[in-house]
Amino acid sequence: METELKPVPSNPGSRWAMPTASIEQVAVAPNKVLRNTYWLLALSMIPTVAGAYVGMAINFAAFFRTSPIMAPLLLFAAMIGSLFVVAALRNSGWGIVAVFGFTFIAGLSLTPTLYYAAGLKNGGQLVALAAAMTAGVFFVMATIATVSKRDFSFLGKFLFVGLILLVVASLANLFFQVPALAITISAIAVFIFSLYMLYHVSEIVRGGETNYIMATTALFLDILNLFMSLLNLLMIFSGQRD
């Protein structure tokens, strides 16, 4: 399952030299990583939906209502822990299993938002609209990165700083519960994760990311966070209660 080029011994004076690759090999490798990433990304939606279904079936949202601070923190810790497992197994077949486990937990994390949407008169339409908008943004960003083949690595530091500030603001809002801040966080998240899609696909196309398991995980997080942010905004501004 490993897609990375391994360093191999070439001579006593250069113990870890990269193997010589032809122009055709260099051109094909990123395309293969991108293809494998898209396949695994599509398959990862199955455990995500399963996790969301299980969460709704066992009324996982009730846990969030009774523990509005502890529950999100525990789930966040579980997702971070599963990400470490994915990273540790990224070069083996078990990495795919780890990705499915991570996406199942991510599906559980959707439960509170989906439960709230289910209580709206037009909740189903808003979920479908958020999914369609997410797919549209992903298609546009992936197309730009793939067709232009431009180097968007300059976005890396900017997006990382924005992500850290976004996480800090989200954790702070668990305690303060300020509606205006929640709207601001969701709006900024839409901007940041849309650009992250462009950045991550560009990294694959240009050969900066050669492990499709890690590439899948990065793009999955972009999609998940963009979907949740869009759905939150749609429910705030267009939600209709019975």
* pLDDT digit string, tens, across residues 130-160: 999 999 999 999 999 999 989 999 999 999 9
In one-letter notation, the amino acid at residue 124 is G
Q: Where are the domains of the chain?
A: 27-238
Work out the average pLDDT over 7-35. 51
**Residue 194 has which token pair?**
């849309």
| 17 phi/psi in degrees, rounded to 5 | -105, 140
Whole-number Å distance between alpha carbons of 49 and 26: 36
pLDDT score, position 66: 87
Residue 203 has pLDDT above 80, yes or no: yes
The mean predicted confidence, pLDDT, of the chain is 87
- Is pLDDT above 70 for 24? no
- CA separation (Å) from 67 to 71, 72, 109, 115, 144? 5, 8, 14, 16, 42
Q: Which is more confidently placed, 175 or 54?
A: 54
Among the residue ranges 6-10, 26-30, 209-213, 220-224, the one predicted with the least confidence is 6-10
pLDDT tens for 25-79 read 334 477 899 999 999 999 999 999 999 999 999 988 888 888 888 888 899 899 9
- Greatest mean pLDDT among 16-30, 110-124, 172-186, 188-202: 188-202
| Alpha-carbon torsion (224, 131, 171, 191), positive or negative | positive
- SS3 state at 13: coil
CA separation for the pair 46, 221 (Å, rounded): 15
Residue where the block lists tokens 């990382």: 160
pTM: 0.85
Q: Token match 């995980």: residue?
A: 217
Q: Give yes or no for residue 127 having a pLDDT over 90.
A: yes
115 CA to centre of own chain: 21
| Whole-angstrom distance, CA of residue 57 vs CA of residue 49 | 12
